[in-house]
Structure 1
């Protein structure tokens, strides 16, 4: 019943970014001779897609675009030129066709691989749509509800993002507008930008201190699974790009707020192999604000260097600290292996809001185009947690072996460390289905990251089924265990079993 109530709400959210367009048609090209203008380059007698028929209204074109995307893709569709090795995987069914590289839309030399989603198709007959196409500006997004059944009653944490147990949740409504720089060409400087606005329950994890963070930090909810307003808004990504082709084999300079670099997993639902996230991901950095350069040295090596204001802190917030960032990615000539060591954050400063010192290594191996695995290991720590002055910071973990729940002593001075390792095995069943199996081990030595000083393991299997290009369904089953302290269900259980299902509707 709750899911039925959620569905019309989700569909109404889908239409929000185009509501004004539906009413006013965004200055449509209403009386233009379609055959003479829009179809000038179309061979005589060639059929016209209903989504591109400018005699139809906006809503009719939008509906037609969804119907067209439900048809199988043409195997003869042209492949965009690229400057480098071929894509190692297929997407779909995998969330990406490329080896991971944070901080940029695509590795230097890889063309824009975004699909044209229904909103862009429906806008194509408007003056706004024409202007966006002429300037290579894209707009699209998704809505993402989920539901879960859990053995826990109070909270699923540190499972994320589905923290509230046994309910339907509205996770993400994301609106995106962007321009991807053309890094395949080498004859001129190009530019780009990226802006994402996220609304939903998942803002609890993505929020940056100093950027609409009052929704989370200044609205205490002592009886809720997480602090803050239930649903909130986060302008998650806002940066500009400058592509300079003459530095090595091409450099992209990114300035603004961008996703943290090294994780296998990402903040956005469509970019993940599974519905839920590993514990490693739950408690590490989410976004940075600063400057990062991504330089292609050759087809095998890419170098990233940057500075930012500390993890999850805006540069203007008093919790921000000048922080160094350096990563290098190597891909074998066979395209079967990838190594991505990364110093995500290092500044030698005391803990403030989330001032992590983070060192990450990711290894990817492709057994075949249909089967690959990704393994990530990291060590993170904060310095002098007990000296934190920010009111949102705890001075003591929730649970430590040998102490009653909530009565542990303050964190000791010095390094408050945690480390972990996670492995993904990803299998393409067919062009519309993939399986992913995730196993991880995590050791929160003093409880600074999760609140409980304990070792964890988690084991997850999930499937992504592409109903159409615009709709993904993801069932998942997860079991996890805390070895040294009853860390699950707010300190009531040593283990947790969860069954989940979500849907991602692209627009």
Structure 2
């Protein structure tokens, strides 16, 4: 009952400030130039005679108005952005470990919370120091052919229900990497509350709520809803090393994946199986160095995948990536050693080798393909299901290398300024069941739409079909296939 009250309250808070906004939402790309306002709409959010709540509501109203087509484009040092964002979740080629590639300006929108804070001393101090704060609320609903669990579909693991996926709060300062005349600094902190903490938790960082709580009649262990301070790092930008080096120290997202834990940064609502079972975050130090407009290298060391350095499961691991972008800006190649230490399995001591290739057919159409080989050594215990054995009666994992292979492709199309669709197809081979619990091959096929109602509100419907070929891995070992229909909303604040 407590959760239901929280969910209802959260949705009410999400809907209240945008109820008037939705009625005013306009697609500027379909409007004749003569219909555009001659001057900007009055900015009630900057009227300091009004209260904070009124300024917040006004900020949502303002964001729903057509954007100024003559707004200046921020200066950048490098190639033009290859994509439009929105409707795509990002306008840049993939590069992990940094908020923006070196030479790319801060392209964050000034969201309603920042606008409403603008009349306060705190807000003015943050503006003077280029400190930003914002976040989002992300509920979802799903309908599934499974009854107990959707796993390995993520993050909507509980079938046939409404879920509160993410309430995320972010505060950050991005270093200015466009300029080359002085050292700059930054920091980033994200706190996530919701069901999705099941997948983001790092051992040694509030992990007791996941690992030391009963999970009776639940498809995943731990408390149903939890909190994870999942990103915290500091940045130092040095412009005089090559064409700029950024040093990042703290807890950051694993580098090479197309997908991310954060809902707004993904092409689709659900995640690939490939992403569900690989690394999520690292604590360490990573350097990102821009050699020129086409070549960037990354070198680092971290405490192992999803393990804090102060936890006994941590193992010092090497990290190295190279990103190449073609002179035409139409192709990107990003091979990575995400983590390597050669040691035995602990909590999630992955040895992971990943490559992503991106190709742009046009400004409106592109695809991304990721393939990886991961393994652990001497995995203890036994999987749930292995071909030839009844469920729960599989033999222990063999000693030595316990591998898995995966490949996923995203095909993404911009329909107009407010809408995009994405097709995702993948194949995954969990050879010994070490990653998913079932020794089987999988395929999944997903089609989703992202509709931007306003710059502050996204709606994402999705349909998905997946199959296990060697063992009935779905619905806790009962079915060979699963079909789902899902929808979520992302309200930025």
What TM-score, normalized to structure 2? Answer: 0.93
Cα-to-partner distance string for 1:455-483 (whole Å, 9 max, x where unaligned):
00000000000000000000000000000
1:189 to 183, 187, 195: 183
Matched, 1:267 2:261: yes
Tell me what 1:323 maps to: 317
C-alpha displacement of 1:5: 8.4
What is residue 99 of structure 1 aligned with on the other side?
Answer: 93
Q: Which residue in 1 is equivalent to 2:334?
A: 340
Q: Return the offset for 1:55.
A: 1.1
Unpaired segments ≥5 residues, structure 2: 17-38
**SS of corresponding position for 1:385:** coil
- Do structure 1's residue 78 and structure 2's residue 78 form an aligned pair? no
Q: Tell me the equivalent position of 1:419.
A: 405
- 2:3 is aligned with 1:9: no
CA spacing shift, 1:485–1:146, aligned 2, 3 Å: same
Q: Of residues 228, 234, 240 in structure 2, which corresponds to 1:240? A: 234
Cα deviations by residue, 1:248-305 (Å, 9 ceiling, x for unpaired): 0000000000000000000100000000000000000000000000000000000000
Identify the residue that residue 494 of structure 1 maps to in structure 2: 480
Matched with 1:401 is 387
User: CA–CA distance in 2 between the matches of 1:72 and 1:494?
Assistant: 48
Equivalence map 1:163-202=2 (5 Å): 163-202=157-196
The alpha carbon displacement at 1:48 in A equals 4.6
Whether 1:87 aligns to 2:81 is yes
CA-CA distance at 1:349 after TM superposition:
0.5
Corresponding residue for residue 471 of structure 1 = 457
Q: After TM superposition, where is structure 1 displaced by more than 2 Å over at least 4 residues in a row?
A: 2-15, 45-48
Distance (Å, rounded) in 1 between the aligned partners of 2:446 and 2:118:
42
C-alpha contact (below 8 Å) 2:187/2:235 kept by paired residues? yes
Answer yes or no: is 1:370 the counterpart of 2:364.
Answer: yes
Deviation of 1:207 (Å): 0.1
**8 Å contact from structure 1 (residues 3, 168) kept in 2:** no
Does 2:424 match 1:438?
Answer: yes
Distance change in 2, residues 1:492/1:312 (3 Å) = same
Q: Distance in 2 between matches of 1:473 and 1:3?
A: 22
User: Which of 97, 117, 131 matches 2:111?
Assistant: 117
After TM superposition, the structure 1 stretch with the greater mean CA deviation from structure 2, 217-226 or 353-362, is 217-226
Q: Deviations over 1:183-203 (max 9, x none)?
A: 000000000000000000000
1: CA distance, partners of 2:110 / 2:12: 20
Residue 32 (structure 1) aligns with = none
Runs of 5+ in structure 1 lacking a partner? 16-44, 387-394
SS at the partner of 2:483? strand
Q: Cα distance, 1:75 vs. partner? A: 1.2
The whole-number CA distance in structure 2 between the counterparts of 1:321 and 1:435 is 40
User: What is the SS of the residue equivalent to 1:226?
Assistant: coil
Which sits farther off after the overlay, 217-226 or 444-453?
A: 217-226
Q: Secondary structure at the match of 2:373?
A: strand
Cα deviation, residue 222, structure 1: 3.5
- SS at structure 1 position matched to 2:275: helix
Q: Deviations over 1:362-412 (max 9, x none)?
A: 0000000000000000000001112xxxxxxxx100000000000001101
TM-score, structure 1 as length reference:
0.91
1:220 CA drift (Å):
2.2
Question: Paired residue for 2:243?
Answer: 249
Q: Partners in 2 of 1:151 and 1:14 — Cα distance?
A: 30
Contact 1:146 1:171 survives alignment (8 Å): yes
How far off is 1:10 after superposition?
3.5
8 Å CA contact retained: 2:195, 2:226 = yes
Residue of 205, 211, 217 corresponding to 2:205: 211
Deviates more, 1:2-11 or 1:421-430: 2-11
Distance change (3 Å), C-alpha of 1:399 and 1:124 = same
> How far is the alpha carbon of 1:7 from its aligned partner?
4.4
Superposed counterparts of 1:4-43, under 5 Å: 6-12=7-13
| Other structure's SS at 1:121 match | helix
Give the drift of 1:71. Answer: 1.1
Return closer, same or farther for 1:465/1:13 CA change in 2, 3 Å cut-off. Answer: closer
The structure-2 alpha-carbon separation of the partners of 1:3 and 1:219, relative to structure 1 and needing over 3 Å to count, comes to closer
Residues in 2 aligned to 1:10 and 1:297: alpha-carbon distance in whole angstroms: 46
Distance 1:196 1:46 in 2: 33
**Secondary structure of 1:249's aligned partner:** coil
1:76 positional shift: 1.0
Change (3 A) 1:3 1:431: farther
The question of 1:138 aligning with 2:139 is answered: no
Q: Could you say what the CA RMSD is over the residues aligned between the two structures, in angstroms?
A: 1.5
